[in-house]
């Protein structure tokens, strides 16, 4: 989701606006930009792909440009790749006006065609740029910016949150909305425009939430609220009752809980725009590889650390299952010093939420030095791993603030599933199975919602293990890495020692640990090896083990040996981890809270380990 911030007043606009879009970083973005009108009434536009810090670095020194009016944007690409040219603000042919836009212009192709016939030349692949040229078209015969914006927007089909500045009207911002949020902030002799209160709340708590098809024209002295027919609307001024310290968490006590509950949306955003029903495959343009190059891949190496390494283990299962390509999963910290063997036609993929993990970055560089094709799967736009990879896929999970990774993990698994589908459909996967896979993937967000609804029950179950010294997590097949991830979650935020183990391996030693003091959390879903794990759990029960079972909805059989059962919806085996991990995240979260620990900042841990 894109972010918009605008300012008009007496202060230097740049720092206010840049700070504002930084507060929108959590939405996720791939580029950003700012437009200012300087003291000589010249329009200045600066925009950059990647992190906002890159944009900041590209700006002239404050002494070189002082402006009291500006608009800025953080973009999350919908039409057109994440490039500087496609970043907002967009301008028309005369470089006199600038617009920032959030939303989708459904009829952008028709409008663009008409404008091009009128001599307009476009410089980006975006739908948004059409708005700049359309408004400019009306400005050729009308000097009133508000009129021009109204006339243009009445031709638009689709959604918009838009802000416009024009060097011919250097003390005016015009903004409007349909379907995408837009807010007017009212300060002391200054005004703000934003798509999210978080961007301006440190300056004012007096806001007006625009309604659909409303437009506001702002000058230094006042503002006028109308609809697109220029009929004056009664402004309703609200008082924001949040403060910035809590706004980031919304109503959640911790970032980690907020991020666990964001997973229906973050998993959706990981596959949004990347499922191709027509050919029942996935679309991952960021790989920068054509069909022939993708077909030539004979080996895959996944390198990562921590939770990302668990995601890689799941990726191995899914890619080997669908594409029949051998996948090695490597701890990056080991890989970089092990003199790895890299055969021809090997694709090496670095998986990293932060995109800055030193071990993973070093392993990626090692693979690159050996001539491998290296890709990155990361959550952080413009991160070092993203920049040093030849291509890759952003997981679009939005900023993950809690040190314990949750939504990034499920989004990494989602992206790896899409990669498996893409490679699989080039090899052995039928269109029919591809369609089933896509249908199941589309159903995952709602199924995650249904598991999150059990939060209170899972908290009750956490009460039963919060004082344990040790815990054992068991899983088989694609759920064995989920057992590892569940154990890591418990370890890193509740400080209870926990170990993930392949359930069948338990009898080769760890079964000696089982007694009434050892909680055993087992993933026993109705999959191809269900009967096998049931027998493993009966072995645990026979030794008085206390079992918490993650089971498939409707499975009564597991009750006979479980102290507690957490039921989750069914799906195809390869996508089970997207569901089976959710209860384990909540279990660890509640254990840590019940033990009174700092969930978001666990001791000794950093969100991104940028050192060896
Ligand atoms: C996971 O909860 C931890 N925060 C940690 O294991 C993390 O996954 C690991 O450090 C890798 O980080 P990255 O994904 O940013 O590379």
**Residue range 70-109, pLDDT digits in tens:** 999 988 766 667 688 889 999 999 999 999 998 889 999 9
> If pLDDT is split at 50, 70 and 90, which confidence band does 184 have?
very high
Tell me the whole-structure pTM to 2 decimals.
Answer: 0.66
Residues 6+ apart with CB under 8 A from 310: 409, 481, 482, 484, 485, 488
Highest mean pLDDT among 508-512, 514-518, 575-579: 575-579
- Check whether the bond before 95 is cis (ω within 30° of 0): no
CA-proximal residue: ligand 1, atom 7 (nearest) = 306
Is the model's pLDDT at 449 over the cut of 70?
Answer: yes
Distance (angstroms) between ligand 1 centre and the Cα of 589 equals: 16
Distance (angstroms) between ligand 1 centre and the Cα of 355 equals: 10
Spot the catalytic one: 205, 439, 459, 607.
607
> If pLDDT is split at 50, 70 and 90, which confidence band does 244 have?
low
Q: Which ligand 1 atom minimizes the distance to the CA of 405?
A: 2
- Residue 108, H or E segment: helix 108-117
Distance (angstroms) between ligand 1 centre and the Cα of 27 equals: 20
The answer to whether the beta carbons of residues 581 and 412 sit under 8 Å apart is: no
**pLDDT tens-digit series, residues 320-346:** 999 999 999 999 999 999 999 999 999
Distance (angstroms) between ligand 1 centre and the Cα of 600 equals: 13
Ligand 1: residue of 331, 357, 386, 481 to mutate (most ligand atoms within 8 A of CB) is: 357
Ligand 1: residue of 360, 609, 610, 612 to mutate (most ligand atoms within 8 A of CB) is: 609
CA-proximal residue: ligand 1, atom 16 (nearest) = 352
Distance (angstroms) between ligand 1 centre and the Cα of 306 equals: 5
CA-proximal residue: ligand 1, atom 9 (nearest) = 306
Question: What is the spatial distance between Cα 417 and Cα 393, in angstroms, rounded to a whole number?
Answer: 12
The answer to whether the beta carbons of residues 499 and 475 sit under 8 Å apart is: no
Active site residue 2: yes
Distance (angstroms) between ligand 1 centre and the Cα of 25 equals: 20
Ligand 1: residue of 260, 306, 481 to mutate (most ligand atoms within 8 A of CB) is: 306
Ligand 1: lining residues by beta carbon, under 6 Å: 305-308, 352-354, 357, 360, 403-405, 492, 608-609
Angle at 412 between CA 376 and CA 341, to 5 degrees: 45
Active site residue 607: yes
- Residue 485, H or E segment: helix 480-494
Q: Which two tokens stand for residue 177?
A: 């909305």
Question: What is the spatial distance between Cα 408 and Cα 595, in angstroms, rounded to a whole number?
Answer: 25
């Amino acid at each position: 989701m894109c972010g918009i911030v605008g300012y008009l007043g007496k202060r230097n606009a740049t720092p206010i606006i840049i700070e504002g879009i930084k507060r929108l970083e959590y939405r996720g973005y791939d580029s950003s930009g700012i437009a200012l009108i300087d003291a000589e009434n010249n329009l200045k536009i600066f925009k950059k792909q990647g992190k906002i810090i890159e944009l900041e670095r590209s700006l002239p020194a404050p002494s070189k440009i002082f402006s009291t009016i500006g608009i800025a944007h953080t973009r999350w690409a919908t039409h057109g790749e994440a490039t500087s040219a496609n970043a907002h603000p967009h301008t028309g042919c005369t470089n006199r006006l600038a617009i920032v836009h959030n939303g989708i212009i459904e009829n952008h192709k028709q409008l663009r065609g008409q404008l091009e016939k009128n001599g307009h030349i476009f410089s980006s692949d975006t739908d948004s740029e059409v708005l700049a040229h359309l408004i400019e078209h009306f400005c050729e015969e009308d000097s009133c910016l508000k009129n021009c914006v109204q006339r243009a927007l009445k031709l638009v089909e689709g959604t918009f949150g838009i802000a416009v500045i024009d060097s011919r009207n250097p003390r005016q911002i015009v903004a409007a909305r349909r379907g995408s949020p837009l807010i007017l902030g009212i300060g002391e002799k200054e005004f703000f425009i934003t798509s999210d209160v978080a961007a301006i709340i440190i300056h004012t708590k007096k806001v007006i939430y625009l309604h659909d098809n409303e437009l506001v024209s702002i000058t230094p002295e006042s503002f006028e609220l109308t609809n697109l027919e220029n009929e004056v609307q009664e402004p309703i001024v609200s008082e924001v009752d949040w403060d910035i310290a809590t706004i980031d968490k919304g109503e959640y006590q911790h970032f980690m809980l907020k991020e666990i509950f964001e997973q229906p949306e973050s998993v959706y955003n990981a596959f949004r725009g990347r499922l191709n029903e027509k050919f029942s495959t996935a679309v991952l343009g960021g790989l920068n590889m054509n069909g022939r190059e993708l077909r030539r891949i004979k080996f895959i190496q996944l390198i990562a650390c921590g939770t990302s390494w668990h995601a890689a283990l799941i990726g191995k299962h899914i890619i080997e299952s669908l594409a029949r390509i051998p996948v090695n999963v490597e701890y990056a910290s080991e890989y970089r010093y092990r003199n790895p063997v890299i055969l021809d036609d090997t694709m090496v993929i670095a998986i990293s939420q932060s995109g800055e993990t030193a071990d993973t970055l070093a392993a990626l560089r090692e693979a690159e030095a050996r001539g491998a094709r290296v890709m990155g799967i990361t959550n952080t736009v413009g991160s070092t791993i993203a920049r040093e990879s030849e291509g890759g896929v952003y997981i679009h999970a939005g900023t993950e603030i809690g040190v314990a990774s949750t939504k990034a993990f499920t989004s990494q698994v989602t992206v790896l599933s899409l990669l498996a589908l893409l490679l699989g459909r080039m090899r052995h996967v039928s269109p029919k199975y591809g369609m089933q896979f896509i249908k199941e993937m589309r159903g995952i967000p709602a199924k995650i919602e249904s598991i999150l609804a059990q939060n209170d029950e899972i908290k009750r179950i956490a009460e039963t293990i919060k004082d344990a010294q040790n815990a054992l997590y068991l899983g088989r097949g694609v759920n064995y890495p989920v057992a590892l991830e569940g154990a890591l979650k418990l370890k890193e935020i509740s400080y209870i020692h926990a170990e993930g183990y392949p359930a069948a391996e338990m009898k080769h030693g760890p079964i000696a640990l089982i007694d009434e003091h050892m909680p055993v959390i087992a993933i026993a879903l109705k999959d191809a090896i269900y009967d096998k794990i049931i027998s493993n759990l009966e072995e645990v029960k026979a030794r008085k083990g206390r079992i918490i079972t993650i089971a498939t909805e409707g499975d009564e059989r597991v009750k006979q040996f479980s102290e507690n059962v957490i039921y989750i919806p069914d799906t195809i085996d390869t996508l089970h981890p997207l569901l089976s991990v959710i209860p384990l995240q909540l279990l660890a979260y509640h254990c840590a809270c019940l033990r009174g620990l700092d969930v978001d900042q666990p001791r000794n841990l950093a969100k991104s380990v940028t050192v060896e």
